[in-house]
Chain A
Amino acid sequence: MISRVAKGGLTLAAIAAVCTTLVAATYRLTSERIAANERAWLEQSLAPALGGGDYEGSLTESRLVLEPPHGLPGKDDAIIYRAYSGGAPVAALFAVTARGGYAGPIRILVGVDVERTVTGVRILEHRETPGLGDGIEASRSDWVRQFDGRSLGDPPVAAWQLRVDGGEFDQLTGASVTPRAVLKAVRETLLYFDAHQEEIFDMPATAETR
C-alpha cells in the first residue's frame, strides 16, 4: 500500500504532465500565427510614421537596437528601423521614450527622411488621461500630424516649443504636459539624427534574437 504522501505526489505529477502537454500542444498550434501577427502589427504601426514614402524590403529586418546611454530620449533601449531604396538610405524610424508625461513613459515613433524632414510621428504606447492627454493619438486628434514635413530649420530649433512656451507648436485643449513631453522627444530625436545620420545607416542590423 503506497503512502498518502506518495499518492498525492503522483497525482500532482500526472496532472502537471497532462496540463503541460495541453499548453505545449496549444503553443505549437498557435506559435506561427502569433509570430506572423506580431510582425504584421509592427510593420502596420511603423508605416504611418513613414508618411507613405517608398522603400524596399522589410523594416523589421533593418532593426537597430541601441542600449542606453545612447543620446536619444528615454532611459530604455532605443530602436531604429531603417528604410532603403536601391541600397541608398531613404528614412529612419526612431522608437524612443518620451519622459515627463502625466502618467509614466510615452513610447513614440519618429520618422525622419534623409533630408532631415519629419515624415511622421506616432504614439506607440502611453497611459495619459483619456479625453485629455490621449489626444496625442493619431486616431483621436490631428495633433501629431503637425510635425509632418517640419525640420529643425522649419521652425528654427529655438521655436521647437509649444505656443504656451513661446514656440510654434500647438498644445492640446486642456493638456499641455503630455504634448510638451512628446514635442521634446521629437526635437531631441531630430538633433540626434543631425549628429549621427551617417553612422545610423551604416551600422549592421541587430540580430533577431535580441
Chain B
Amino acid sequence: MTSGQLAERMQAGLWRENPGLVQLLGLCPLLAVTSTFVNGLGLGVATLSVLTCSNVLVSATRRWILAEIRVPIYVLIIASLVTCTELIFKAWFPALDRSLGIFIPLIVTNCAIVARAEVFASRNGIVSSLFDGLGMGAGFALLLMAIGFFRELVGRGSIFAEFDKLLGGDPLGGLVVVDGGWLLAVLPPGAFFSLALAIALKNYLDGRREAAHAT
C-alpha cells in the first residue's frame, strides 16, 4: 500500500465518506452527548480508539474467520474493546465517564464501527485498515467536537467549559463569551439543528468546489 493510498483513506474518513456527515452512522451518541466540547472530545477519542483497534483486529484475523460466523466475532471483538475503554475511562477520567454515562458502553452499538469491520477491515490488509480506522474515527471525533463546540458556544455562551472533567481538579468555567445563551442549542432539538447545519455546510463547500472544477 503506497502512502498516496493511505492518505486517500484518511481523506475519505475525514471528509468524503465521513461517518457522521455522509454515512450518517452513529447519530444517537452524536446527538446525545455533544452539549459541550469536552463531552464531544471524550466520546470522540473513545470511539476513535475502539474503531482503530477493532479494524486492526478484524483485519489481522480475517484469514481464519469463516463468513458464517464473522458477525458474532465482530461483536465479540468490539464488545471487549468497548468494555476495556469503559474501564480505562472509569479509572482515569471518572468525571468525564459520569458525564458521558451510558454512551461509553453504547459505543458497542455504534454502527459506524461494525460497518467499517464488515465493509473495509475484513477485506483489506492491516496497515490500510489501521489508517481507515484512524481516518473514520478522527472524522467522527472531529464532527463531535465541532458540534459540541458550536452548541456550547450558542447554548451556554462558553468555550471549552468543564475541562476539569479531563484534567481533574476544581471545576473550570472555560472562557465565558456571554453570560447564559440560547437554551435551545443545548436541548435535543439543538443537536438536530447543529447536525443539519454541519451537513449543509459540507454540501455547500463540496458544491462550490465542483463548480470551480467545472469552469
Chain A residues engaging chain B, CB cutoff 8 angstroms: 4, 7-8, 11-12, 15-16, 19-20, 22-23, 26-27, 29-30, 33-34, 37-38, 41, 129-131, 139
Contacts and interface: CB of A to CB of B under 8 A. Distances in A.
Interface string B39-61: 00000000000000000000001
A156 to B, nearest CB: 37
Given A7-B66, A8-B66, A30-B87, A15 B94 contact: no
Interface of B: 35, 61, 64-66, 68-69, 72-73, 76-77, 79-81, 83-84, 87-88, 90-92, 94, 98, 171, 183, 186-187
B84 A26 contact: yes
Say what secondary structure dominates the interface of chain B.
helix
A26 B187 contact: no
A27 B87 contact: yes
Contacts of A20: 80
Nearest to B67: A8
B171 A33 contact: no
Given A11-B64, A130-B187, A139-B171, A26 B73 contact: no
Given A15-B77, A23-B84, A131-B183, A30 B90 contact: yes
A130 B84 contact: no
A11 B80 CA distance: 16
Contacts of B98: 41
Nearest to B93: A37
Contacts of B80: 19-20, 22-23
28 contacts: A4-B66, A4-B68, A8-B68, A11-B69, A12-B72, A12-B73, A12-B76, A15-B76, A20-B80, A22-B80, A23-B80, A23-B84, A26-B84, A29-B87, A30-B87, A33-B91, A33-B92, A34-B87, A34-B90, A37-B90, A37-B94, A38-B94, A41-B94, A130-B35, A131-B183, A131-B186, A131-B187, A139-B171
Contact of A30 (B69, B88, B183): B88
A19 B90 contact: no
Given A7-B66, A26-B84, A37-B94, A19 B183 contact: no
A34 B72 CA distance: 30
A11 B65 contact: yes
Contacts of B187: 129-131
Contacts of B81: 22
A4 to B, nearest CB: 7
B83 A26 contact: yes
B61 A15 contact: yes
Given A22-B84, A130-B183, 14 more contacts: A4-B68, A8-B66, A16-B76, A19-B80, A23-B80, A26-B83, A26-B87, A30-B88, A34-B91, A37-B90, A41-B98, A130-B35, A131-B183, A131-B186
A37 B91 contact: yes
A29 B87 CA distance: 9
Nearest to B78: A19
B91 A12 contact: no
Contacts of A41: 94, 98
Given A12-B72, A37-B94, A130 B66 contact: no
Contacts of B90: 30, 34, 37
Contacts of B186: 130-131
Contacts of B61: 15
A11 B171 CA distance: 49
Nearest to A5: B68
